[in-house]
Amino acid sequence: MTAILGGGISGMSAAYYCLENPRIGSVILLEASNRLGGWIKSTSSPTGVIFEEGPRTVRPSGPAGENTLKLVDSLNLNGKVIPINSSHPAANNRLIYANKKLHLLPNSITSLFKVNTPFERRLISVLWNEITASKVQKEDESIYSFVERRLGKDVADYLISPMICGICAGDAKKISVNFLLKPAFELEQKYGSIVKGMLLHKFKSPKSSQKTENANNESTLVHRAKKENWAVWGLQGGLQQLPIALENKLLSNNQVKINKNSVCEQITFKPGQVEMLINGKTEKYCKLISSLSAKYLAPLLEKQHPQLSRELLAIPSTTVAVVNLHYEGKVLPLEAFGFLVPPKENSPILGVIFDSCVFKNSNTVLTVMMGGAWFDKFFADNNTDEHFLSVAVNETKKILGIKDDPIEHNVSVLKDCIPQYVVGHVQRLKRIENYISAHKLPMALCGSSYHGVGINDVILSAKQAVSQIA
């Protein structure tokens, strides 16, 4: 029997893909808490409004995005999909809050030839800046450093830094460019310039001859997403409908057993088997797929594999406070996806999502994200729900000009919810993978600690982990 540790979206996906692989027999999914779904959690308020404590939308593009759509298709969730196409205000309008004002980010080719605040130059000049910047041969560096020297400090401060806050609640001055912006970094390292590299790569790349074949193999949702030009998509009833459907699928198959409230205390590898101490009792399995975050997997391996444990423990994570606010009527200055706050503004909030613009609602629903890489700085001395709510309400009133108080709210603190891919992450992953291979450990890793924090990333990592362990 193969054991899967962790019942978040990656662990559940791993169990699903195990069922599709004839080389894997029965599976047991072990979850420490009393619920499945991990950080995906949709809560219905007393008035019926959906509050998302975690992710709410998913991108459809690329192999990982298409893989998720195929999974959704196979779970018969097509009828619940809410597409947001590229012409929707939530797809077009993205804001940043800088210098005590909201600024609409450039969203068209023509806007690149204008001076858009808070920038003090035409963004088309960024191209010249990039082409003339000197190449620096490096194994890795921070995203901020890379962007500052190739595109300019203003782009690093007002575009990339808030973007990193939105992606992983992280500090762009610490996050690895060789991981999170790998294609751009590789173009510079190979061609000396991102722009030159893109142009040369485009002319050198042969035309794809598999487009027709791929189109014929597409799922219904993948085809729809391309045809209708989706920017993102969500689900009626909240994104938690995805883990709910996965759980139902798994429970309907007698090859899968799900054990909740099962706390793993130690992992020991022995010839031909994996021994795990679960709730004080030793259980034996032939293979292991761990979807636990690196921080929580590390101590389980420390006694037998201290070197591997240290590498895992060196992948940090950050805590985010999430406050959902429900206001009566329309109280926003414009329709948009929301706004992000550059770290240089020294604000306790990372950004605000305009949920009621993304998914139409007659009232106003917002999600305020706070802390992240700066959680201790702003909330170490006061981390009560009352304080989080007060900060969220006061900051949104100040920035968005909202005068009324919310009629409903929801406060949640997601401890260590987002891994931080700091400089050297790619090299660390190689060392972890090489260690597991060299010691012939019957274990595969998946989840957000390793190859990406997005829903698409962790689902694809689960699929790859199953292939690897099989």
What does the domain layout of the chain look like in residue ranges? 2-42+59-84+237-316+422-469, 119-204, 317-419
pLDDT digits (tens, 9 = 90+) for 212-250: 445 556 789 999 999 999 999 999 999 999 999 999 999
Q: How many angstroms separate the first and last alpha carbons of the chain?
A: 12
Is there a shared CATH topology between the 2-42+59-84+237-316+422-469 domain and the 119-204 domain? no
Rounded Cα gap, residues 319 and 321, in angstroms: 7
Report pLDDT for 84.
96
pLDDT digits (tens, 9 = 90+) for 255-269: 999 999 999 999 999
Residues in the chain: 470
pLDDT digits (tens, 9 = 90+) for 8-53: 999 999 999 999 988 998 999 999 999 999 999 999 999 999 999 9
Q: Indicate the pTM of the whole model.
A: 0.94
β-strand pairing of 94-98 with 101-104: antiparallel
Give the CA count within 13 Å in the CB-facing half-sphere of 289: 33
| 269, amino acid identity | F
317-419: CATH, from 3.90.660.20, 3.90.550.10, 3.40.50.970, 3.20.20.100: 3.90.660.20
Buried b (16+ CB within 10 A) or exposed e, 367-402: bbbbbbbbbeebbeeeeeeebbbebbbebbeebbeb
DSSP E strands in 272-342: the ranges are: 273-278, 281-285, 287-290, 317-327, 338-340
**If 0-12 CB within 10 Å is exposed, 13-18 middle and 19+ buried, where does residue 2 land?**
buried
Report pLDDT for 202.
75
Report pLDDT for 121.
85
The segments of the chain whose pLDDT lies below 70 read 205-217
119-204: CATH, from 1.25.40.10, 1.10.3110.10, 3.30.1490.110, 3.40.640.10: 1.10.3110.10
Rounded Cα gap, residues 455 and 267, in angstroms: 27
Report pLDDT for 2.
96
Computed from CA positions of residues 43, 351, 373, 189, in that sequence, does the dihedral angle turn out positive or negative?
Answer: positive
Architecture of the structural domain at 2-42+59-84+237-316+422-469: 3-Layer(bba) Sandwich (3.50)
